[in-house]
Structure 1
Amino acid sequence: MKLTYYGMIVQHTGEDWIDAPLVLSTAQPSLGGSIPELGTQIAKLYKPPPLAPVPHPGLRLMALGGHNLQLNSVTAVGPEDVGFGLSAESLSYAETTPTQNTAGDTILSTTFVIARPATIPSDSSEHKVTVTSMEMKPTTIHETVPAKNTNVFLTASVLNPSQFILLPGQANVYLNNSFIAKSDIKGVSPNERFFSSLGVDAAVKVEYKPAHEFSEQVGLLSKSSSTVHEQRIVIKNTKNEQVLITVKEHVPKSTDEKIKIKLISPELDQKMANRVDSMKKGELPTPGARLNSAHNLEWTVALEPNSETELLVKWSVEYPNGESVEYVEQF
């Protein structure tokens, strides 16, 4: 895997820079997102919204002084995004190669000295310069969030072996010199592991079957209602190699003592309890089921070549009789 680190330069000073030595400095780098994320799904008792008052026909709302009230729309304009682009090219494996460009740190920023002089015309257009290029050996991971997208995303786990800080920015991903996807790279320090989306792997397929729910009344003295939710997820590996895939699925979280939620299937791996959000910490996933810090299920399975498996996610919610429960996703 080859990573080429670029800087985008725009200048409108009225003077063209001819064969100018360049030093890039961090200044408000942009952030972004990639593969779908799951927020925390909160279960709470449903309360119908209050009815809106019905205006009396023929009445017109007037302000003091006889002026009509008018609602003006306001448009918010944010600053133009800036940042550095990354390009991951081909999945060939090699050792890290040294570069002539240098990077330096100050208390508030990082600077990058560009090895070759560049010509940047004063035309307010973006001009790309190469900060550095390095060879990396990635470990590939498969992930899917079938409740939102049944595609399986191929993710590369890579260690940054260079002296360069990788700033947050967008990456163009190429496989065999063909563009396949765009990805977002978060800030990465030297010798820190990071993850980059390599696009969709069509050789691994996911079927998200319709959910089943059934309700019953429980309790002898204080009657309450219980609803069981079943979700079946079929994963098929058509590749000629084993695939390690992590499925992310909602398990609602209750913030109301009147609502009790129990995960029935799968059985959580207690050894994984201290490894929640392992990928955010730069750790590779291992087979097993766990709840992450957002109370979402992360179920990692190893799928043999040309095989398929069915996962059953099952949970129950108990709540006061006569009430109803709504689910709200929060980020």
Structure 2
Amino acid sequence: MDAVEIEAPIVGVTVYPDRARVTRLGGTRLAAGEHRIRIAPLPLGLRRDSLRVGGRGAATVLGVDVTTHRQARSADRQVSELERRRRALAEDLAEADDAYEIEAERGQFLARLAERAGGTYARALAAGDAAPTDVAAFADSVAGQLTDSRTRRRGLARRRTELTDELAAVERQLQATKGKRKPDRLAAEVTVSVDVDDAELELELTYLVDGARWQPSYDLRLVDETVTLTWFGLVSQDTGEDWPECELQLSTARPAVATAVPELSPWYLDRVRPVPPRVLPATMVGGMPPPPPAPAGAPPATGRAAFAGPPPPMMQASVAEVEQGVAAATYRPARPIAVPADGSAHRATVAVLELPARLDHVTVPLRAPEAHLRATVRNTSAHTLLPGPAAVFHGADFVATTRLPVWAPGEETELALGVDDRLRVERKLGRRSDTRATLGSTRRREVEYRISVANHTPRPATVEVRDQLPVSRDDGVSVREATLVPPPAERTELGELTWRLRLGPGESGEITMGFRVEIAKGVDLAGWRE
């Protein structure tokens, strides 16, 4: 029974985070009886156990087989054209290489000829057998030919460079289409039993393919106290087949440099403990092995940004329709999108959300004299936002990048929006004193810090100031509070202190933090810092 091959173009694609479901639709007319229908070509990355066939018409599907067609070359038109271009460039480059080598040998021949003829002409001139004009004419002829040869070699060298660059560009294009370069293809052979003559059948073929993905990315634009969140879906694929403009859906289902506020770590004080000598194993020969590298911490890099005035009116963005399922959501972009199998990302707008925000500032002057603008935002939409990178804008100005976590409806999250240079922060050591131990007494070290915050913005600002007291881990070292003005709003057992200052435009606030460390006699203090 011969197979009837029909065209079944792609009419829909549902993209998951790590794969895609492709839908093809084709039709034909058949007489009554049993027939085999072939749908090809299909990509090699097709998951055979995911292939499903349905449709409409007076027929019954008896079975579906997936077969492999071996081919000498890829049947994809883009790949075929690129490979033809690569072969032509390779031939041109080989011809240029041959011509360059021939011209080089010609130049060497002329140089040897001139060298040997020089001695012959010298002897002929001495014997009176040659005239000086003959020698000059020969020399001019050889020099002219050498000049022409070297000119041609330079031209051939330029041609070789141009061909090499063109060939490299074609190779890069072929590399981008690596999924389509494999010559072999799959085919679905559907066996049907047709009930009536001249029956019109419509077949729908669906299957899963690997090598496709979509990832979320976001724009966060702060204007006054509203954050406009634009959610994009970045779709890319290298499945081996191009997706034409069709119904594209993005599903959250899974079949089967960031700007951050510095964090405080506990500040421990302890006695100096002697390190016991290390005993070498009997099997070790030579010196000690190198100690493991100590972890190095550094405060995160921060960017500086200036607020901009009100941005111009924004164009309206077309957003996707959403269909909420039990455990996932499916988004349908407003317009069809073509996605070639070259791995490049194609962006579709999923949603644009206007979210209310509470703004304040956070500073950790112990780490850096900077105030970070922070927005506490509630997700008032019905969307569960997936984790992904976000670009932060103040009005029309780009100021930072951050990363959003999973953000459920009704949930609040804190967004770091960059450094606000209009709040000036300073932390200074105001006083330090040490007392020596007398017989049977302890030593004391007392310090006092002053933290000042100035608001140079045109509006009131709430500033959260974080600092810390040291924490003792030894009975011979004790820490006593001396001065905390004003009292902190929050404190933890690990010595972290939090103040909240409310400053009007042009106002300043000051915090005084003092403490005393008592060290028992005979104890050497470890972990101290100014």
Instruction: Assess same fold via TM > 0.5.
Output: yes
Q: CA deviation at 1:239?
A: 1.9
Counterpart residue number, 1:43: 269
Distance 2:521 2:325 in 1: 61
Which SS does the other structure have where 2:410 is aligned? coil
Of 321, 331, 354 in structure 2, the residue corresponding to residue 135 of structure 1 is: 354
- CA deviations on 1:150-186 (whole Å, 9 max, x unpaired) are 1111111111101112233332111221101122323
Distance 1:32 1:293, change over 3 A: farther
Cα distance change on mapping 1:182 and 1:13 into 2, 3 Å: same
Tell me which moved more, 151-160 or 254-263: 254-263
CA distance in 1, matches of 2:329, 2:392: 25
Aligned to 2:423: 204
Separation in 1 of the partners of 2:238 and 2:502? 54
Q: Identify the match of residue 337 of structure 2 among 81, 101, 118.
A: 118
Tell me: CA distance 1:129–1:38, structure 2 relative to 1, closer, same or farther (3 Å): farther
Deviations 1:86-131 (A, max 9, x none): xxx9989xxxx99653264666xx4442333433332233333322
| Contact preservation (8 Å) 1:211, 1:230 | yes
- The 3 A distance-change label for structure 1 pair 161 and 209 is same
TM-score scaled by length of structure 2: 0.45
Corresponding residue SS for 1:147: coil
AA at the equivalent of 1:232: R
**1:266 counterpart (466, 476, 484):** 484
Structure 2 CA distance for partners of 1:50 and 1:123, relative to 1, 3 Å: farther
Give, in whole Å, the separation in 1 of the partners of 2:270 and 2:393: 45
Partner AA of 1:173 in structure 2? V
1:181 aligns with 2:408: no
Query: Does 2:515 match 1:315?
Result: yes
Q: Equivalent residue of 1:119, what SS?
A: strand
The change in CA–CA distance for 1:239 and 1:127 in structure 2 (over 3 A counts) is same
* Structure 1 residue aligned with 2:452: 234
For residues 189 and 53 of structure 1, do their structure 2 counterparts lie closer, same or farther at Cα, with a shift above 3 Å needed?
Answer: same
Instruction: Please tell me whether residue 296 in structure 1 is matched to residue 501 in structure 2.
Output: no
Q: Which amino acid aligns with 2:446?
A: V
CA contact (8 A) 1:156 1:195 kept: yes
CA distance in 2, matches of 1:303, 1:179: 27
- Structure-2 residue corresponding to 1:17: 243
Q: Deviations over 1:279-309 (max 9, x none)?
A: xxxxxxxxx5321465311111111221222
SS in 2 for 1:124: coil
- Matched AA of 1:255: R
Q: Which amino acid in 2 is paired with 1:9?
A: V
Higher alpha-carbon deviation: 185-194 or 14-23: 14-23
C-alpha spacing 1:224/1:157, structure 2 compared with 1 (3 Å): same
Question: Counterparts of 2:493 and 2:329 in 1: how far apart (Å)?
Answer: 35
Cα distance change, pair 289–46 in 1 and its aligned pair in 2 (3 A): farther
| 1:136 counterpart SS class | strand
Aligned to 1:101: 321
SS at match of 1:150: coil
**What is the Cα deviation at residue 9 of structure 1?**
3.2
CA distance in 1, matches of 2:341, 2:373: 40
The equivalent of 2:29 in structure 1 is: none
Cα–Cα, structure 1 residues 225 and 165, in superposed 2: closer, same or farther, change >3 Å? farther
Q: For 2:360 and 2:459, locate their aligned partners in 1 and report how far apart those are by CA, in whole Å.
A: 13
Separation in structure 1 between the aligned mates of residue 473 and residue 323 of structure 2, nearest angstrom: 47
- Corresponding residue pairs, total: 274
Any conservation in 2 of the 1:252–1:327 contact (CA below 8 Å)?
Answer: no
Map 1:53-68; keep pairs closer than 5 Å.
61=286
Instruction: Return the alpha-carbon distance in structure 2 between the equivalents of residues 26 and 265 of structure 1.
Output: 56
CA RMSD of aligned residues (A): 3.8
Q: Within the alignment, does 1:244 sit opposite 2:444 as a pair?
A: no
Q: 1:267 to 1:150 in 2, by over 3 A?
A: closer
- Where does the alignment leave 5 or more consecutive residues of structure 1 unmatched? 63-69, 72-88, 270-287
Question: 227-236 or 4-13, which moves further after superposition?
Answer: 4-13
TM-score (norm 1): 0.69
The aligned counterpart of 2:48 is: none
Distance 1:180 1:123, change over 3 A: same
Alpha-carbon distance between aligned partners in 2 of 1:300 and 1:323, rounded to the nearest angstrom:
37
Rounded to whole Å, the distance in 2 between the matches of 1:132 and 1:256 is 56
Contact 1:114 1:130 in 2 (8 A): no
Once the 2 structures are TM-superposed, how far is the Cα of residue 249 of structure 1 from its aligned partner? 1.0
Local SS of the residue matching 1:298? strand
Distance 1:49 1:131, change over 3 A: farther
Q: Aligned residue for 2:371?
A: 152
